[in-house]
């Protein structure tokens, strides 16, 4: 059963603690992405990776870090430097650009992080 998994579904942390969100895919997709969604808002790109051992900052990378050691996995660490970490975090993946792929991304179920 192919898909993207994120764990845990809900995560609670105290302020000042780093926390790592898991994202795994078995779709054989090359590219993976992390987004953040706040209530009533669209998706904002945190980091993305087009190939193993390489990743780029998105629009709101400050306070976050990632790694891409395996094609299937793209974990996101929310550090204590992130000022407003409470949000819904979404991981997505995509095939490399080129026919028939036009850049469509597929999302995991998300992790809802609450920091108090």
Instruction: Kindly give, in sequence order, each residue whose CB lies less than 8 Å from that of residue 103, ignoring residues fewer than 6 positions away.
Output: 94, 97
114 binds other proteins (CB under 8 A): no
Task: Classify strands 111-115 and 87-94 as parallel, antiparallel or unpaired.
Answer: antiparallel
Q: Which of 40, 54, 84, 116 binds other proteins (CB under 8 A)?
A: 40
What is the Cα–Cα distance from 95 to 101, expressed in whole angstroms?
7
Smallest gap from Cβ 80 to other proteins, in A, equals 26
Rule CB under 8 A: which residues touch other proteins? 31, 33, 35, 40-45, 48, 50, 58, 90, 94, 96-97, 102-110
């Amino acid at each position: 059963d192919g898909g993207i998994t994120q764990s845990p579904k809900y995560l609670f942390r105290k302020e000042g603690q780093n926390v790592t969100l898991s994202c795994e895919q078995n779709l054989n997709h090359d590219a993976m992405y992390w987004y953040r969604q706040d209530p009533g808002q669209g998706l904002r790109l945190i980091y993305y990776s087009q190939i193993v051992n390489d990743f780029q900052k998105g629009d709101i990378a400050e306070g976050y870090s990632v790694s891409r050691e395996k094609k299937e996995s793209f974990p996101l660490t929310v550090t204590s430097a992130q000022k407003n970490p409470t949000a819904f975090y979404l991981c997505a993946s995509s095939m490399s650009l080129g026919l028939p792929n036009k850049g469509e991304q597929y999302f995991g179920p998300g992790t809802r992080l609450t920091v108090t």
